Structure 1
């Protein structure tokens, strides 16, 4: 039985930490590095034409699993599985499904790993006991989502071996190229943001992808990384750590928790949900 996600537990403190957002694009690259995920995104996702709406819907969904309560998580998980059941097609002459167990587990694995990496890069690494509790909680959430128990390793050490082996097997693919191009060319999320600021933010996003990807995958994808880049990233990480670490966990997770509670209410009131998102999921 997975430990419940309640205030003060590891998943509650780290899954919604605002520093996790610094790894958002890195997670997307890791997900679409899986060939089945890449095919599904290529054929069924609108992220390239409307990345900000797609991002908001993804954040809304993720927030429910940890901060929306068990009942809310179950409803959202059922909705997502029903939606993904329709995502099928052909890739390299073979049929694929978005609910392919290995691919489905990998997507969840990237979401499990990102908050741990965010703390390693930009905060204080989780202790052994925190990792044990966090991983057990995220496995429980995975089972709510329909990830089979046998598709997630039994403990954190085994999970890290699985994660590294998956990354080692990935190769470049056109969906990764499209994702990088989308990050390079995406329009501003809000009109009032100065163009010069947005150009710098896009450059920063691409830099953070290169900085935080596993080095082996960075090399496989042909992404340049120098000692000067590493020093620049370490300075940036130190600044984030200095600013964010003293902030109480309740404040670091507040935005995601509020989004989670709001979205549970919206899911329970379809008219409000349709009004807010225009009938899109």
Structure 2
């Protein structure tokens, strides 16, 4: 059993760091690279038609696991398991379920890896002791989510081997192609955002995906990466590192902690949550 996720612990400092969002595209690619996840996204996800609402729901859910307290995390975990229980279908002639243990564990694994990679690329890599604490805390969260004990490698070294072996078995698929197309064609999240600014969204997002995917997998997807690209990314990463590293962890994670606490409160007051959702739907 790991230390609780409280102020100053590894998961508290790194899981909600604002730099994690720079790997949002990368983690989505890695998730839908799993054939069961790809089939579930194809049959049950609305992200291609309404990606911004889907992104907000995902962010709200993630924030609860780490920053919503144990009681909030248990409630959210039960809600997610109940929701995904109905996500079933047929892929390649075989029945699948969104709660397939191996696929469920893989989605959790990709989320575990994001903060560590974000610090490796854009910050200061976690120390060995921080990795141990962080991974143990994320395993506790995985258990609350219903990930089987045998699908949680015992330590970070074993987790890294598992993660690398999974990525080594992935190739391109239609879900990844659809994700790339959605990134290229998605409409602005808000009307007032200048079109000139939004024009760069797809290029930046695809650049970050190409930069942060495991190189061998990037090559299998046919994504080009040149020495000039690497130099541009190194300059970008250096700038983020210089700007963000001096910022206290309490500031870097403030948005996710606030979202987590707010969503725990809203789930305890469902009538207010329903009112806000209806009002937001009318305005959109």
Same fold (TM over 0.5): yes
How many residue pairs align between the two structures?
Answer: 280
Separation in 2, partners of 1:231, 1:54:
33
SS in structure 2 of the partner of residue 166 of structure 1: helix
Structure 1 residue 279 displacement after superposition = 10
CA–CA distance in structure 1, aligned partners of residues 265 and 157 of structure 2: 37
Tell me the equivalent position of 2:118: 118
- Residue matched to 1:178: 178
Deviation at 1:199, TM superposition (A): 1.1
What is the CA–CA distance in structure 2 between the aligned matches of 1:63 and 1:119, rounded to whole Å? 18
Q: Which residue of 1 aligns with 2:75?
A: 75
Aligned to 2:148: 148
Question: Which shifted more, 196-205 or 132-141?
Answer: 196-205
Mapping of residues 255-270 of structure 1, within 5 Å: 255-270=255-270
SS at 2:103 equivalent: helix
Could you list the per-position Cα deviations for residues 149-192 of structure 1 after superposition, in whole angstroms to 9, with x for gaps in the alignment? 11011000000000000000001110000000001111111111
2:199 alignment partner, SS class: helix
Does structure 1 residue 14 correspond to structure 2 residue 26?
no
CA distance in structure 2 between the aligned counterparts of 1:206 and 1:193, rounded to whole angstroms: 20
> Aligned with 2:187: secondary structure?
coil
What is the CA-CA distance between 1:9 and the residue it aligns to? 0.2
Aligned residue in 2 for 1:187: 187
Partner SS, residue 8 of structure 1: coil
Q: Which runs of 5+ in 2 are unaligned?
A: none
Q: Structure 1, residues 90-144: CA drift from partner, whole Å, max 9, x if none?
A: 0000000000000000000000000000000000000000000000000000000
Q: TM-score, normalised by structure 1?
A: 0.98
Q: Distance in 1 between the 2:26 and 2:192 partners?
A: 26
**Uncovered stretches (5+) of structure 1, i.e. residues with no partner:** none
Please give the alpha-carbon distance, in whole angstroms, between the structure 2 residues aligned to 1:274 and 1:156: 40
Q: Secondary structure at the match of 1:89?
A: strand
For the 8 Å contact 1:40–1:89, the answer to whether it is kept is yes
Deviation at 1:196, TM superposition (A): 1.1
Provide Cα deviations, 1:37-92, integer angstroms capped at 9, x if missing partner. Answer: 00000000000000000000000000000000000000000000000000000000
TM-score (norm 2): 0.97
Deviation at 1:276, TM superposition (A): 2.5
Deviation at 1:3, TM superposition (A): 1.6
Separation (CA, whole Å) in 1 of partners of 2:124 and 2:154: 24
Task: Give 1:1-281 correspondences, 5 Å limit.
Answer: 1-278=1-278
Equivalent position SS for 2:203: helix
Counterpart Cα distance in 2 of 1:276 and 1:127 = 42
Moved over 3 A (4+): none
Q: Residues 160 and 142 of structure 1: is their aligned pair in 2 closer, same or farther, counting only changes over 3 Å?
A: same
Computed over aligned residues only, the root mean square deviation of the Cα atoms, in angstroms, reads 1.1
1:278 CA displacement: 3.6
Q: Distance in 1 between matches of 2:277 and 2:28?
A: 22
Per-residue CA deviations over 1:231-266 (Å, capped at 9, x if unaligned) read 000000000001000000000000000000000001
Q: State the SS of the aligned residue for 1:16.
A: coil
Deviations 1:172-227 (A, max 9, x none): 11000000000111111111111111111221011000100111110110100000
Take 1:214 and 1:73, find their aligned partners in 2: how far apart are those partners? Answer: 31
